[in-house]
Amino acid sequence: MAIDSKLRGCDLVQMKIGDIVSGGQVRTRAIVMQQKTGRPVQFELLPDARASLLAWLDRRGGTVDDYVFPSRVDHNGHLSTRQYARLVDEWVTGVGLMRSDYGTHSLRRTKASIIYRATGNLRAVQILLGHSKIENTVRYLGIDVEDALALAENTEI
């Protein structure tokens, strides 16, 4: 879910069931309002993520007004961003990866980086991340002169 949505952790944990479910099915696309920017961002949910979410929501229960990921402490609240980070740390170490190399924000960046490398379409990545300025997307992806030259070298006219 975190990789598909490309959402910041604070936005991911605050999603409500109604944001991603319609008519008993997990939507293929959803829109959430970003906490940081106050702007909406749309994202896709691929079949594997939809199947996992549907299984989770069947087990979790709840209404469209409930959080997708509820707090363990306050059942009316959502999972905290700190608890989300702890879970990611557990998952990362559980599969034998270095905790220092992966975190909640690297999940946000993963798909955006793959899309950029596959297409070179910086504007599309900007839209998907909900960045207001292209410069932010360039900085976020760590694009440098080498990246630009590599794209140019692979484009024949």
pLDDT at 45 over 90: yes
What pLDDT score does 155 carry?
A: 76
Question: For the chain, what is the largest distance between any 2 Cα atoms, rounded to a whole number of angstroms?
Answer: 60
pLDDT, greater one: 71 or 149: 71
What pLDDT score does 143 carry?
A: 81
Please tell me the number of Cα atoms within 13 Å of 31 on its side-chain side: 5
Return d(Cα 153, Cα 14) in angstroms, integer: 43
- As a whole number, the mean pLDDT across the chain is 91
| pTM of structure | 0.83
Residue labelled with tokens 């939507």:
27
pLDDT, greater one: 60 or 144: 60
Residue extents of the structural domains in the chain: 9-154
Which of 1.10.443.10, 3.40.190.10, 1.20.120.160, 3.40.1440.10 is the CATH number of 9-154? 1.10.443.10
What pLDDT score does 154 carry?
A: 78
How much of the chain, in percent, has pLDDT values that exceed 90? 66
